[in-house]
Amino acid sequence: MRFGRPDTDFIKWKWKPHGCEDDLPVFDPLRFLETVRGKTMAFVGDSVSRNHMQSLICLLSQVEYPVDASVNTSDYFKRWTYETYNFTIAPFWSTHLVKSTEPEPGKTEHSVFDLYLDEADERWTAEIGDFDYVIISSGHWHYRPSVYYENNTIIGCRYCQLPNITDFSMFYGYRKAFRTAFKAILDTETFEGVLYLRTFAPSHFEGGLWNEGGNCLRRGPYQRNETQDDVTMKLHRIQVEEFERAEVEAKRKGKRFRLLDTTQAMWLRPDGHPSRYGHLPEANVSLYNDCVHWCLPGPIDNLNDFLLAMIKREEEKGLLAQVRKMMS
């Protein structure tokens, strides 16, 4: 609004679960903080993951502001602690979830990422055992041209336009990345928390891609029967398939994997992106019309409605298990 957005309806729409008589409860920041007292939470992923975390911090600010408790100077690996509740939030920047090497700055010809699809990103896997709740997600960076490695050997690429290299679809790399990420968590013996896969949050560019003048100018949600685009549906399906595959092993090992399936809810909200109002009109930024990230407040706050509901359910399961153990 400060940058000129004229409408406000995007902050008023609320998600209503289909087939349920009751509305989804409004996020209760006090209830959230009481529920996670003494716990730690990690957000692993890209800038949409950070967007999700920022939404949570904004919602919790109704009760308390966190203090910066970072041990790392990078903004990509901060620590935020709510001292009254001894609750810590930490983002882990990992655009692809697996080990990756970015193109050299300023290099435009054959500018591609190197993705090591069978090696999880140690920047988050090395510390994940310290957290009670881990929310992982990844999506939009997989659209970018990339060279795929397995066993430290090039096996192909995604739109790299390099000679004598097999061209794979991004779906190959996307599936492999999640399979590797899940395996890393399953193999982390010190991780005893709850893993949440937050599913793909789609963008809503119309009239072109982000670098071709595409924009998101809708001022209301889609109707429930308006279908998602094919790419979004396939990315979501891959995530769910890999999650279900990993969940079988998680149950065998006594680990808790949970599906935070938000894709459909976010697909319905093309009105919730910053578009050209995410910055000053004269700002020189590469993503001029931002139809990837989400306004705050806005639809992304629903993710934390869902998250709180799932955490409450998890805690209730834990209490019930304790009662049963005491009675047996």
Q: What is the distance in angstroms between the CA of the first residue and the CA of the last residue of the chain?
A: 58
Q: Please name the residue that has the structure tokens 């949570």.
A: 56
Annotated catalytic residue 47:
yes
Q: Please name the residue that has the structure tokens 């509305």.
A: 23
Q: Which of 271, 290, 301, 305 is catalytic?
A: 290
Q: Distance between CA atoms of 182 and 187, rounded to whole angstroms?
A: 9
Nearest residue to 219 via CA among 10, 2, 41: 10
Annotated catalytic residue 146:
no
Q: Which of 52, 96, 140, 293 is catalytic?
A: 293
Strand-pairing partners, residue 259, are: 197
Q: Which of 47, 70, 111, 114 is catalytic?
A: 47
Q: In what order do the strands lie in the sheet with 87-93?
A: 67-68, 80-82, 87-93, 40-45, 133-136, 194-198, 256-260
Nearest residue to 297 via CA among 274, 313, 276, 319: 274
**What DSSP designation does 87 have?**
E
Annotated catalytic residue 290:
yes
> In this structure, are strands 194-198 and 256-260 parallel, antiparallel, or unpaired?
parallel
Residues assigned a catalytic role? 47, 290, 293
